[in-house]
Amino acid sequence: MDNIDIPEKYISNINIDGMNGRVLDLPAKSASKNKLLFIYGHHSSIERWWGLMLALSNYGSVTMPDLPGFGGMDSFYKIGKKPNIDNMADYLAKFIKKHFKDEEITIAGMSFGFAVSTRMLQRHPELHKQIKIVVSIVGFVNQEDFTLSPVRKQVYIQATRILSHKVPSIIFRHIALHPLFLNAFYGKTHNAKNKFKEAGSKQEIDAIKAAEVTLWHINDVRTWCYTTVAILTLKNSKVKVDLPVWHVGVSEDHFFDNNKVEKHLSEIYKDVLHIKIDAKMHAPSVIADEKAAAEILPQDLRDRLSKL
């Protein structure tokens, strides 16, 4: 995004299974030898999370790869696959094995990124031995975790299921995602209102709009729609993960019921430590700098990361 300056020396190209993307490798600010792998959420890019990466680099080096179809990376459709949770999970496992070899790491997943990370750990238990802890930042593992009304949920599922097909997605991209349309109407949509409600000035609102337009255009429409359906119909796999998870929940999360999230996490992970922070948004702003993004990292979690 034009308004977020990331030194090019921290970003390199990756190719996994014929899909081209990017990866951010940010060194630790201190002498810490911790290695943190951050998996971003839905509707994301490397640039969108630069502020949080700066905050996390206080506790070790941070790696953040693109996900297929997001952040400008090629989608699974390029190689004849669908962008389902299992394929995302297998991609992530391949990335870890290729990028980290046998090194110990901490995994932090953001929202959808945590769902992918969990499925990866369930499908690839051979990786458990090199994972120190798992961190869920407003993550989820089950469709029941959402607070959406049944009617709204079905509307989202049916609409995005249609738009996950090639021709409808092309039409949607060139009409509904045209910059003029997005600038005029996006801020008035149900979910987008939360992204603008704490903006303090017109300049900040304009910056958020610009960042959102960029995100909508670098993310593959079909992948975004297909994964929306996958998220809203996600079943809780009963495969156990013999690792501890630190879950950060937001007090006024407009997407998830924290009690249900904790219940479903306890059905999968060995230990669950749930920390709720007082915040009014599901995630930091798309233009959040290091200070603003760091608010989603509670002190207990920072202390734990410091001791790894």
* Other residues' Cβ atoms within 10 Å of the Cβ of residue 267: 13
How, if at all, do strands 105-110 and 35-39 pair? parallel
268, 240 contact by CB (below 8 A):
yes
Interatomic CA distance for residues 102 and 90, integer angstroms? 17
Query: Closest Cα to residue 214, out of 78, 22, 72?
Result: 72
b/e code 112-125 from CB counts within 10 Å (16+ = b) = bbbbbbbbbbbbbe
Confidence of residue 179 (pLDDT cuts 50, 70, 90): confident
Confidence of residue 192 (pLDDT cuts 50, 70, 90): low
Residue 169: burial class (beta carbons within 10 Å; 0-12, 13-18, 19+): buried
pLDDT at 2: 42
Interatomic CA distance for residues 114 and 75, integer angstroms? 19
Listing DSSP states for 82-142 in one string gives ---HHHHHHHHHHHHHHHHTT--EEEEEETHHHHHHHHHHHH-GGGGGGEEEEEEES--SS
pLDDT tens for each residue of 115-125: 999 999 999 99
Interatomic CA distance for residues 214 and 229, integer angstroms? 22
Q: What is the mean pLDDT of residues 7-28?
A: 96
**C-alpha pair distances (Å), 270 with each of 133, 150, 257, 264, 267:** 11, 31, 21, 12, 8
Averaged pLDDT score across all residues of the chain: 91
Interatomic CA distance for residues 271 and 294, integer angstroms? 24
63, 25 contact by CB (below 8 A):
yes
Q: What is the mean pLDDT of residues 143-161?
A: 95
Q: What is the pTM of this model?
A: 0.92
pLDDT tens for each residue of 196-253: 666 667 788 778 888 888 888 899 999 999 999 999 999 977 899 999 999 999 988 8
pLDDT at 180: 82
- State the Cα torsion 161-256-132-307 to the nearest 10°: 140
- Domains identified in the chain and CATH numbers: 8-147+236-306 (3.40.50.1820), 150-227 (no CATH)
70, 220 contact by CB (below 8 A):
yes
pLDDT at 19: 98
Name residue, tokens 């734990």: 304
The three-class DSSP label of residue 227 is helix
Q: 304 is written with which tokens? A: 């734990």
How, if at all, do strands 19-26 and 11-16 pair? antiparallel
Listing DSSP states for 152-213 in one string gives HHHHHHHHHHHHTSHHHHHHHHHHTTSHHHHHHHGGGSTTTHHHHTT--SHHHHHHHHHHHH
